[in-house]
Chain A
Amino acid sequence: MFSFILRRILLMIPTLIAISVVTFIVIQLPPGDFLTALTAERAQQNETLDSSLVLALRERYGLDQPWYTQYWLWISGILFRGDFGQSFEWNLPVSSLIWDRLGLTLIVSVTTLVFVWLVSFPVGIYSAVRQHSPGDMIATFLAFLGLAIPNFLMALVLMYFASRFFGQSVGGLFSPEYANAGWSLGRVWDLITHLWLPVLVLGSSGAAALIRIMRANLLDELHKPYVEIARARGVSEARLIFKYPVRVALNPFISTVGWVLPALISGEVITAIVLSLPTAGPLLLNALFSQDMYLAGGLILLLSVLTLVGTLLSDILLAVFDPRIRYT
Chain B
Amino acid sequence: MRALHLHENWTALRTIVTKEVLRFARIWVQTVLPPMITMALYFIIFGGLIGSRIGEMDGIRYMDFIVPGLIMLAVITNSYSNVVSSFFSSKFQRHIEELLVSPVPNSLIILGFVGGGIARGLAVGVGVTLVSLFFSPFSLHSLTVTVSVVVMTSVVFALAGLINGVFARNFDDISIVPTFVLTPLTYLGGVFYSVSLLPDFWQAVSQLNPILYMVDAFRYGLLGTSDLSLTVSYAIIIGFILGLYLFALTLLNRGVGVRN
A binds B: no
- B positions within 8 Å CB-CB of A: none
